[in-house]
Structure 1
Amino acid sequence: MPMSQEVFGQFRRKRLFIAATIAALVLVVTLTFRFFEEKSHVEQQSRSFADRAIQRFDRLFSPLDIAANNTMGLVGLKCDQVRYPLIEKLAALQTIRSILLVDDDRIYCSSIFGASNISFSNAFPELAIASQRMMLVVDDQLLKGSPVLLLWTPRSLDNRSGILQTINIELMSSYLLEPTLPWVERAVINVGGKSLEYGNPMIEAAQPSEDEVSYIQASLRYPYSITLFGPEPAALAILSLPSQLPLALLLSALVGYVVWLATANRMSLSWQISVGINAREFIVYCQPLINARTNGCDGIELLLRWHNPRQGWIAPDVFIPLAERQNLIAPLTRFVLTEVVRQLPQLPGCAGFHIAINVAASHFHQQEIINDLQKLWWPADPKPQLIVELTERDALPVVDQSTVAYLHKIGVKLAIDDFGTGHSSLSYLKTLSPDVLKIDKIFTGAIGTDAINATVTDMVISLAQRLNIALVAEGVETAQQAEYLRDRGVNALQGYFYARPMPLTDFPQWLENWRQNGPATE
């Protein structure tokens, strides 16, 4: 796989991983949010049920309180005098089974049975002695065995006189405590430690089953409470999640897609190049140019390397073409110019030393390269000869050829890089009038192995010599290649046989070693 495709594939995989991770996170967060929302909804439904039940019971008990206070004047009168008024009261209060009058701790009159003589404290010690106002009991007189609620309204603080109302609590609970599924499965009214459950006529303690939880709410006006039994809210919330899944999946897919689009720029190599320039992730390298005749170092070609902390080393064959397409090649060239100007004091300060820099054809538009040289290069008063290398595959339009002419005018030489691999044209050579042709390493590597390409190499050398253009051969890796090119009059040699590309800061030390020892033996 080509290096560029591999790098772009890494970026696409990283974008896909980020988008998928965020989409999965959104799915989990959405379902979690819906879980807690549904759980809260279930709990709220239980609280609302209890609130409504309390309010309804209170509204039913309130008129009974009023009626008892209005009837309090009958207490103490003879039963035969008050029985018919009690019956009238009973008819007006449909939830009351009977009204009992208590005086001097004696239940002496009943709206149903008339006169009686029953000890109040013996019959109902919870009311008479413990001062309770309500009491759940079983009716043993009218509807034997049925549950009733006793509501005691005392006339005196000693609880020896007052009105006792027998309430048909089973009837009231049958429509006030009807469960609401699935939140409330069972509803219970509690009075004085005793309980009456909806649908169960027995007065007995109500306990939750293994899979139920309870919720209790007490009345603020009367001494009773409501207990609700139902499924665990979390269990109901979990059961609701499958219905939430399609919407959660749609939302997560949408967010993942948005992230995929949003990272198209930030996760692209072009964005990484912009970041790398500002973060000084690029490093200026150089490769020496060796004089084929004297074996001395006549100059260097500036190269750019990129160490991306997120991706490692990225080859120039990957980021240079992309930078050209994304209009980022000019900032990279300015970076190279800035760095070489900073290193000028450590480089040979003579006109015979050449510094070659690669410039893309797009950098020639509207004399942009000239403007950059005037801002960055000439203010440093450089002594070495500057050579601008234009890759042959980047053919210049006619309008930009005037820029080349101006470069010649101000003393900058032009080299055609990778000659023979792109727009080979005699008219192109004539129009640009290059000072140097650089033989591509493809042809250099063919020396001694490929007769056809070797012939092309000879033709390029002959062409340059006839046009009086200097020649630089790239990719020299063997002594045989160096000897072959030297014999044919190539002016300068460049390649691993002499030196690998090195950081520009290492060049002064390399040059010192070269002058003392010559080429290293391999």
Structure 2
Amino acid sequence: MHTAQRIIRNYRRKRLSVCISLAVAALFLTLSVRFISERNLYERQITDFSQRAILSIEALLAPLEKVGEDLAPLVGHTCTEAHLPLREQAARLQIVRAIALIDNGVLYCSSIFGARGVMLNQLQPGLPSPVQQLLLSTDQVLLKGTPVLIRWLPTSLNGQSGVMQIINIELITSLAITPDHPLIRRVLFNVGPNHLEYGSDVRPPPEGERESRQVFPSSRYPFSVTVIGPTPEYLAWRDLPGQLPLALILSLLIGYMAWLATAGRMSFSWEINLGLAAREFEVFCQPLLSARTQQCVGVEILLRWNNPRQGWISPDVFIPLAEQQNLIAPLTRYVMTETVHQLHYFPADSAFHIGINVAASHFHRGAILDDVRRIWLSAHPHQQLILELTERDALPDVDHRMVRELHRYGVKLAIDDFGTGQSALSYLEKLHPDVLKIDKSFTAAIGTDAVNSTVTDIIIALGQRLNIELVAEGVETEAQAAHLKQHGVTFLQGYLYAKPMPLREFPQWLAGRTHPPARHNGQAIPVLPVQ
């Protein structure tokens, strides 16, 4: 077992390491967030640039669709009839270098040269074609060797006739795919197997092993844009040293705040909260027997804590510390919730009562009423709930109106460890308890000449005079049990009948009335004082 002093000393030794860990974590987290933020920013900038380039090229190509459809009926007409409309359309479109009509594979009319008679496949291999195409090629007629974009629109089923539009791709590259240094070093315009880079000729795709390459396709036309440059991760790493001063300042501030926050908290509140979150607490029960019939009529719910960092911690340690740190109410809620989840271990009988310890502070502003409604009553239990109010709390703080409301819910109130705390007879009048639990120190004094033995008889007489049920705790001998029964004590509780046990072992005890040792994970544990 660990004492409160040892726990506090361990906490103090860990204080500095916790503060340093928080500072280092804040430094790492700040740099990580800044790295991710910068990387995402660069990724968005690259994507935005590529989408703008694609939208610009699509906007330039869009008018060509209407022109091609308007000129398609001219295919098959003489060049004398078609030449003027070809020239007019070419003049209207700034990006078009020339428009040509092809009939049965022969380019017979051009907006620039007029009538011609050249096989199309000699000028552009792959044309004519039965499907629409967008080709990136070089000019073989007007400005030989310069890059051009060819749009082919077939007008016959066999694809041997159609309209060919030759587009000045250099204008497109200057408007849409100019690199944005240093984020984007190179931009490629891709059509089929060929690629065009700003300021270069049509060529196969370049090899850039050390640079990031991202391809963004058009959703309307068969082309894509490739951007080449440093990876977003590289750019983010490059900028990260500039974020270091701010991250250091923030981490030092976090460490200092943690130091201040822990300076006055040399308690075990952090461990208790962590134990609640990790479900390290285990609910035990100790049976109560009828003094007259020797039958089990209820249980008192107890709390045990196997802390993986400190080992088994006595309730005599963590209960007072929890009260000091205002954590007794969360512990009580935990006990009530765990008990509700394991009610199937107990007889489904309204005469069977389940006692749960509560603190007077839990009654503040009706908190206990809310918890009873939300946790206990919502489960619709068959068993009788008894709230055991310990006397070391300031009992006058308990509003008697709360007690009346609890009675309205069918919940009984007991005063635990009666006679050992700050009790006064006026408490009994104000609170109207249903049960008085005689502290085990008085039970142990039965049959001796100690003053406590006389006090025990007085408490019993007082309970009988006020018509309050009596429970004697700490019954360990038959002589004690006989004395208590003879003097009219209603219920008995103690090692004579059963030690505290996990709830799952209660059905076996109830069936065989054996005394199983309290165990946890296969290992016997010391039985702790009732809390």
TM-score by length of 1: 0.52
Q: Which residue pairs with 2:144 in the alignment?
A: 144
Contact 2:184–2:228 under 8 Å retained in 1:
yes
Q: Which residue pairs with 2:221 in the alignment?
A: 222
1:45 and 1:271 map into 2 onto residues whose CA distance is 45
Contact 2:83–2:109 under 8 Å retained in 1:
yes
Query: 1:451-496, CA deviations, whole angstroms, 9 ceiling, x for partnerless residues?
Result: xxxxxxxxxxxxxxxxxxxxxxxxxxxxxxxxxxxxxxxxxxxxxx
Query: 1:315-366, CA deviations, whole angstroms, 9 ceiling, x for partnerless residues?
Result: xxxxxxx99x999xxx9xxx9x9xxxxxxxxxxxxxxxxxxxxxxxxx9999
Q: Which residue pairs with 2:56 in the alignment?
A: 56
Give unmatched runs, 5+ long, in structure 1: 280-307, 315-321, 338-362, 389-406, 411-504, 506-522
Output aligned runs, 1:230-379, within 5 Å.
Answer: 230-264=229-263, 267-268=266-267, 375=439, 377-379=441-443
Output aligned runs, 1:376-387, within 5 Å.
Answer: 377-382=441-446
1:28 and 1:273 map into 2 onto residues whose CA distance is 28
Q: Which is further off, 216-225 or 88-97?
A: 216-225
Alpha carbons of 1:129 and 1:66: their partners in 2 closer, same or farther (altered >3 Å)?
A: closer
Number of residue pairs aligned between Structure 1 and Structure 2: 334
Alpha carbons of 1:374 and 1:82: their partners in 2 closer, same or farther (altered >3 Å)?
A: closer
Question: 1:16, CA displacement in angstroms?
Answer: 1.6
Contact 1:102–1:108 under 8 Å retained in 2:
yes
1:273 and 1:105 map into 2 onto residues whose CA distance is 88
Alpha carbons of 1:271 and 1:45: their partners in 2 closer, same or farther (altered >3 Å)?
A: closer
Contact 2:129–2:154 under 8 Å retained in 1:
no
Alpha carbons of 1:385 and 1:208: their partners in 2 closer, same or farther (altered >3 Å)?
A: farther
Alpha carbons of 1:145 and 1:186: their partners in 2 closer, same or farther (altered >3 Å)?
A: same
Q: Which residue pairs with 1:213 in the alignment?
A: 212
Q: Which residue pairs with 1:442 in the alignment?
A: none
Q: Which is further off, 13-22 or 254-263?
A: 254-263
Contact 1:265–1:271 under 8 Å retained in 2:
no
Alpha carbons of 1:366 and 1:261: their partners in 2 closer, same or farther (altered >3 Å)?
A: farther
2:130 and 2:238 map into 1 onto residues whose CA distance is 47
2:30 and 2:11 map into 1 onto residues whose CA distance is 28
1:144 and 1:253 map into 2 onto residues whose CA distance is 67
Question: 1:273, CA displacement in angstroms?
Answer: 11
Alpha carbons of 1:378 and 1:7: their partners in 2 closer, same or farther (altered >3 Å)?
A: closer
Question: 1:82, CA displacement in angstroms?
Answer: 2.3
State percent identity of aligned pairs. 41
Question: 1:89, CA displacement in angstroms?
Answer: 1.1
Question: 1:152, CA displacement in angstroms?
Answer: 1.0
Alpha carbons of 1:382 and 1:192: their partners in 2 closer, same or farther (altered >3 Å)?
A: same
Output aligned runs, 1:82-97, within 5 Å.
Answer: 82-97=82-97
Query: 1:242-281, CA deviations, whole angstroms, 9 ceiling, x for partnerless residues?
Result: 2333443344344444544554566537988999xx99xx
Contact 2:132–2:153 under 8 Å retained in 1:
no
Question: 1:90, CA displacement in angstroms?
Answer: 1.4
Query: 1:281-311, CA deviations, whole angstroms, 9 ceiling, x for partnerless residues?
Result: xxxxxxxxxxxxxxxxxxxxxxxxxxx9967
Which letter does structure 2 place at the counterpart of 1:239?
R
Question: 1:88, CA displacement in angstroms?
Answer: 1.4
Question: 1:9, CA displacement in angstroms?
Answer: 6.7
Contact 1:121–1:129 under 8 Å retained in 2:
no
Query: 1:44-65, CA deviations, whole angstroms, 9 ceiling, x for partnerless residues?
Result: 3322222222222112111111
Root-mean-square deviation (CA, aligned residues, Å) is 5.0
Question: 1:229, CA displacement in angstroms?
Answer: 0.7
Q: Which is further off, 230-239 or 242-251?
A: 242-251
Alpha carbons of 1:241 and 1:273: their partners in 2 closer, same or farther (altered >3 Å)?
A: closer
Three-state SS of the structure 1 residue aligned to 2:121 is: helix
Three-state SS of the structure 2 residue aligned to 1:36 is: helix
1:364 and 1:251 map into 2 onto residues whose CA distance is 50
